[in-house]
């Protein structure tokens, strides 16, 4: 099992830049969040998990693995869409999964070289796929590609964490962007703590 990598350097930087976040980091301690280094697998997993509970997503995922063996562009592309749907998802979602696999097989997206692109190039490429929005692409940047500086405005829990941290009643985008800039270049580490703060 691999986890998002960060350490003292990132923590010290964030503490220096933001006293409130620093105090929260002290209180919470180190956070371990699992990463999935295979970006194609991570993408399919996130499509499976859209709008369903994590328990339901686990069940569907297990059935999908039983159906195709290992989750690769070739194995998904070779499976019948009705069999994918029968794993416990809507026809639309099965279509998204099949579409992502076909984009990989046809070379529209080369998952093997994604890591060589900038964050924005990856977001643009992935969100061109049906069923993959900017938020999904940003989560892959953190939890598959280990990118260090991602704070997603589209993530409700991150916004809630920020509002809890700074005791804000509302959070306009320009204010969000100011905080985001403050955390840079270690925004992803700040995100881990903002998620934790969203439920406090």
Query: What domain count does the chain have?
Result: 2
Say yes or no: 44 and 99 in one domain.
yes
* pLDDT tens-digit map of 157-168: 999 999 999 999
pTM of the model: 0.93
Residue 144, pLDDT score: 97
Say yes or no: 56 and 138 in one domain.
yes
Residue 1, pLDDT score: 87
Query: Which of left, alpha, beta for 28 (phi over 0: left; psi -120 to 50: alpha)?
Result: alpha
* pLDDT tens-digit map of 83-100: 999 999 999 999 999 999
Check which CATH number belongs to the domain holding 97 and give it.
1.10.340.30
Say yes or no: 162 and 85 in one domain.
no
How large a percentage of the chain has pLDDT more than 90? Answer: 97
Check which CATH number belongs to the domain holding 186 and give it.
1.10.1670.40
**Average pLDDT value for residue range 19-25:** 98
Q: How many residues does the chain have?
A: 200
Give one DSSP letter per residue of 120-167, joined into a string: HHHHHHHHTSTT--HHHHHHHHHHTT--S----TT-HHHHHHHHHHHT
Residue 21, pLDDT score: 98
Residue 94, C-beta contacts closer than 8 angstroms, at least 6 positions apart: 81, 82, 84, 85, 87
**Average pLDDT value for residue range 53-71:** 96
User: 83 an active-site residue?
Assistant: no
**Average pLDDT value for residue range 168-196:** 98
| Domain end residue (candidates: 96, 126, 143) | 143
Say yes or no: 120 and 156 in one domain.
no
Say yes or no: 26 and 56 in one domain.
no
Rounded CA-CA distance 151/148 in Å is: 10
Residue 200, pLDDT score: 82
* pLDDT tens-digit map of 101-140: 999 999 999 999 999 999 999 999 999 999 999 999 999 9
Q: Which element (helix H / strand E) includes 114?
A: none
Query: For residue 114, what are the domain limits?
Result: 38-143
Rounded CA-CA distance 82/176 in Å is: 43
Say yes or no: 51 and 13 in one domain.
no
Say yes or no: 10 and 48 in one domain.
no
Residue 185, pLDDT score: 98
Per the prediction, the chain carries an average pLDDT of 96
Residue 15, C-beta contacts closer than 8 angstroms, at least 6 positions apart: 21, 22, 25, 26
- CB atoms near residue 134 (< 10 Å): 14
Q: Among the options 18, 83, 119, 155, which is catalytic?
A: 155
Using the predicted structure, report yes or no on whether residue 146 has a pLDDT greater than 90: yes
Say yes or no: 29 and 107 in one domain.
no
Residue 128, pLDDT score: 95
Rg (CA), the chain: 18
Residue 175, pLDDT score: 97
Cis bond leading into 110, ω under 30°? no
């Amino acid at each position: 099992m691999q986890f998002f990598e960060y350490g003292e350097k990132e923590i010290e930087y964030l503490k220096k830049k933001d006293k409130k976040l620093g105090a929260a980091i002290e209180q919470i301690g180190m956070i371990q969040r699992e990463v999935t280094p295979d970006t194609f697998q991570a993408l399919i997993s996130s499509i499976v998990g859209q709008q369903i509970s994590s328990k339901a997503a686990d069940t569907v995922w297990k059935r999908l693995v039983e159906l195709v063996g290992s989750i690769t562009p070739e194995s998904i592309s070779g499976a019948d869409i009705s069999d994918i749907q029968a794993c416990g998802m809507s026809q639309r979602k099965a279509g998204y999964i099949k579409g992502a696999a076909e984009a990989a097989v046809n070379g529209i997206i080369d998952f093997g070289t994604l890591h060589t692109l900038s964050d924005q190039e990856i977001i643009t490429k992935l969100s061109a796929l049906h069923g993959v929005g900017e938020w999904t692409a940003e989560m892959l940047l953190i939890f598959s590609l280990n990118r260090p500086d991602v704070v997603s405005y589209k993530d409700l829990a991150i916004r809630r964490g920020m509002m809890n941290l700074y005791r804000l009643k509302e959070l306009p985008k320009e204010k969000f962007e100011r905080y985001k800039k403050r955390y840079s270049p270690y925004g992803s580490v700040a995100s881990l703590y903002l998620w934790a703060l969203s439920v406090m």
